[in-house]
Amino acid sequence: MRKIFYKKIEKGLPRQCFYNVATSSILAKSPVFTNENDAIAVHGKVRTSVMPKTIHHAWIEKGRDVIDPTFGIMCAKWFYYEMFNAEPELTYSP
């Protein structure tokens, strides 16, 4: 059984996911992490049972974790992909 890692973080501006990711301190070498070089911005699509409509969205992947400043969560990548039916389309490294 996989252990679920889920942490609430400060939410960014609503409906501004691309801006929230681009201005995130995680991509701007935040002291929270020791090696920011493996943090990437991901643009793709997400959908949940709460929001059945697929939307274009952006999030950050760092190793095996996802940081989503718009939804205000940090969790394991596998959990994020299952919870939001995430479909990455493009990735960017800082």
Name beta bridge partners: 60.
41, 67
Q: How confident is the model at residue 27 (pLDDT cuts 50, 70, 90)?
A: low
The pLDDT of residue 69: 92
At 56, the amino acid letter reads H
Domain boundaries, the chain: 6-92
Mode of pairing for the β-strands spanning 55-62 and 65-68: antiparallel
Q: Output the six-digit token pair for 81.
A: 């992909």
Q: Over range 20-33, report the average pLDDT.
A: 65
* Beta strands per DSSP E along 2-68: 6-8, 39-46, 55-62, 65-68
The pLDDT of residue 81: 95
Average pLDDT, the chain: 82
User: Does the predicted TM-score (pTM) go above 0.85?
Assistant: no
Better-predicted residue by pLDDT, 58 or 34: 58
Please determine, for residue 75, whether its predicted confidence score (pLDDT) is greater than 50: yes
